[in-house]
Chains A and B, each alone.
Chain A
Amino acid sequence: MPATAADTLVWRMPPMDMSMPMMPGLEDAVPPALPALPDQQAMGIPVARPSEVVSLADGDTLHLEATLIRRQLGGRPFVMYGYNQQYPGPLISVTRAATVVVVFKNELEEPTTVHWHGLRLDNRFDGVAGLTQAPVAQGESFTYEVFFPDTGIYWYHPHMREDMQQDLGLYGNMLVHSEREGYYSTVNLEEVLVLDDLLIDSHGLIPWGQTSPTHALMGRFGNVMLTNGVTDYSLAAAPGTVARFYLTNVANARTFNITFGGAPIKVVASDVSKFEREVFVESVPVAPAERYVVEVHFEHPGEYAITNAVQAINHFRGEFYPHVDTLGMISVAGAPAAPDYGEDFRVPRTNTDVIADVDSVRGFFDRPPDKELSLTVRVTNLPVPIMMAMEADTLYVPPMEWNDAMPMMNWLSTGSQVTWIMRDAATGKENMDIRWDFALGDIVKVRIFNDPKSFHPMNHPIHVHGQRFLVLEMDGRRNTNLVWKDTAVLPVGSTMDLLIEMSNPGDWMAHCHIAEHLSAGMMLGFTVHRAPPSKGSSGD
């Protein structure tokens, strides 16, 4: 990485809950990697501005540039990364079935790419360095043709060192509108909410690892919450407003559990489609890279806090404790909203178009798995106190890590010590040694087991590139309300059956979307062939 030369930068221990004593033997320990950070004293860095909507028609061109930017968070200045000097990057607004050209230029000192998360686009433009394209070096450009086959909310981000580049601000949304009237219910307002966190102490950004990510065990949890890139997000609405929120979790590792101040929530859609049936929920858990579209009814005047409410864990004390982050405020005041969509809101819709779409693959639901994966981890050369603590502390591992319950141990672990593993049950192959072959049009059931018997099991949001899938079952329980996804979270000890529609030819990747887990190896490759793969061509 770029940034401040490592010889002038030193590690600082991340902020910790001081009710937990420092682990003996780790007082002076630092990650076995050089620290890296954008030069916080750099001159001439442009001041970033909030995200702007860019409406594009089929065939239009967008120029997108990754640069250093200057931002204010909580009144403090930071030098970070940005697309087109915005935070988040420009909100690309298009109509379904459009193709736009994005001329991307990299003005950062380190190589990068742009991945168009969730889009079933031409493989050449998927943005995976080393698989579909070469990294874009400083000063160089790459032209993407971005096709939008599905209505919904999507996002773009680098596919190189996501742990650092994405965390520093390289992300933006794509809102794909349906060409059909009434695709969603009519609402009073629509808002895109990008959820993130950032790890900061009193001196500024905690450095990242230069050649290998820190926080390789659990991923880098931030201690400052960002909604649409700011710490004080607010929204005004009239009483009676029905609002549609497009939620995207762009955090490295944190799963959010979102509420809207007690206002009723109806979940409408997720990554790549609407649900078969809308349902009312009390909160919205959103794992990294997942998206949910929800409608919320603010019936009465008042202040509604957008919160992330979790049961955090204090491993030293062996206890759960409630933790709430306020992510923003919605002020509901003034004259009543008009028209009043309250009655419509109270009636959840059945989406016959989605049911009909799913019908095309329903005949595959009961077939045995075509592929089986287990998820685990291998560690080497971690400090002895960490090994001792983990041995004493793994009688119970929470299904989901909602907070960084072991910040020191987590920080000290790097990608050089931790290998996160996807293992193919049939061949024993691991990670990118797995190269599955499928034919275009195959409907493939993949069973994934998150093995709890490892050094440090953890939840994994699994992302499949270039295709869409259904989560058919979790722990043997059939999912009765399906939605097309590209990312789904698998808790510790659980098993998930995915039914993947191989609808898009090319060389693709599937991986954990915790940025540090991805950097620590947790990815596999698969090819969707236009013609059936010849016998013996399979990598497994």
Chain B
Amino acid sequence: MTTFLALAILLSGAAPAGLCEAPPEYYKIDLVPTRRVPAARQATGAAHLTYTESPFGISVSPAGHYRYDVEVVVENLRPAPAGVYVAWLSTPNLKEVVRLGPLTDAIRGRTEWNKFLVIITLESSARANQSRWQGPVVMRGLSRSGLMHTMAGHGPYEQEPCTVYGYY
């Protein structure tokens, strides 16, 4: 029998009902499977962001970065023949990486990066001291802030050459 790894939605407080349609929706990062691991091709998942606890409601660092608690929820991810699924956070340029942990329990972390990726990889072991992933990327998602992009070359700036601003 195939066992599916299904992590319950652990975001504290379910989405309020009624008018307030899933308020955390705006702070949800969809995780999309790659094709690299067959056991993960039907997987779905998301990372949910909530502000870290703060006396001010919003939570920001002294430099003004939003501070989020991140909770990763994955469903329909079949166990791999070998190895362990591990969740990570990374800056978009992959220069900084934080290991959230193996997908065997509630996966929670914290970030204050402006833009970031949520990555699920298949690692050979669950070594906690691993600073970067070595196995294949199984799922990935981009923070909504990562959707912000230059206007050069389109919209009202269609005639504005991207290269002048360092975009190619």
The chain A residues found within 8 Å of chain B, CB to CB, are: 21, 23-25, 257, 259, 267, 270, 275, 279, 281-285, 292, 309-311, 313, 315-320, 322-323, 369, 372-374, 385, 388-389, 391-393, 395-396, 398-400, 402, 425, 447, 449, 452, 471, 473-481, 483, 488-497
Contact = CB atoms under 8 A, between A and B. Distances in A.
Contacts of B25: 493
Contact of B155 (A372, A392, A490, A492): A392
B160 A21 contact: yes
A6 B131 CA distance: 64
Contacts of A282: 61-62
Given A372-B18, A392-B154, A476-B11, A309 B23 contact: no
A495 B23 contact: yes
Contacts of B160: 21
A385 B64 contact: no
B156 A23 contact: yes
Nearest to A19: B165
Contacts of B154: 392
Given A396-B144, A447-B16, A284 B56 contact: yes
A319 B50 contact: no
Nearest to B115: A320
B63 A311 contact: yes
Contact of B27 (A318, A369, A391, A475): A475
Interface string B47-67: 000110111111011111110
The 10 closest A-B pairs by CB, nearest first: A476-B13, A493-B26, A495-B23, A425-B19, A310-B64, A392-B155, A395-B147, A449-B20, A318-B149, A320-B114
A477 B48 CA distance: 13
Given A477-B51, A483-B55, A495 B16 contact: yes
Give chain B's interface secondary structure class: loop
Contact of A496 (B27, B56, B57, B114): B57
29 contacts: A21-B157, A257-B60, A257-B62, A282-B61, A284-B56, A309-B64, A311-B66, A311-B114, A316-B157, A319-B150, A320-B114, A320-B115, A388-B156, A389-B156, A392-B154, A392-B155, A393-B148, A396-B144, A396-B147, A396-B148, A399-B58, A473-B13, A475-B23, A475-B27, A476-B16, A477-B13, A477-B50, A481-B55, A495-B23
A480 B23 contact: no
A495 B20 contact: yes
A444 to B, nearest CB: 16
Given A282-B62, A311-B114, A369 B18 contact: yes
A489 B55 contact: no
B151 A322 contact: no
B12 interface: yes
Nearest to B167: A317
Contact of A374 (B19, B50, B146): B19
B8 interface: no
A320 B143 CA distance: 14
A23 B159 CA distance: 11
Given A425-B18, A475-B27, A475-B50, A395 B148 contact: yes
Contact of A318 (B20, B51, B53, B151): B151
Contacts of A399: 58, 66
A450 B120 CA distance: 31
Contact of B57 (A25, A279, A488): A488
A89 B135 CA distance: 64
B109 interface: no
Name which of A374, A447, A493 has the most chain B CB atoms within 10 A of its CB.
A493
B58 A489 contact: yes
Counting chain B residues whose Cβ lies within 8 A of the other chain, the interface size class is 35 or more
Contacts of A492: 26
B97 interface: no
A389 B151 contact: yes
Contacts of A489: 57-58
A292 to B, nearest CB: 8
B152 interface: yes
B64 A318 contact: no
A447 B20 contact: yes
A481 B59 CA distance: 14
Contacts of B13: 473, 475-478
Contacts of A373: 19
Nearest to A313: B148
Contacts of A475: 13, 23-24, 27, 50-51
Contacts of B145: 320, 396, 398
Interface in B59-111: 60-66
Given A425-B19, A495-B20, A474 B157 contact: no
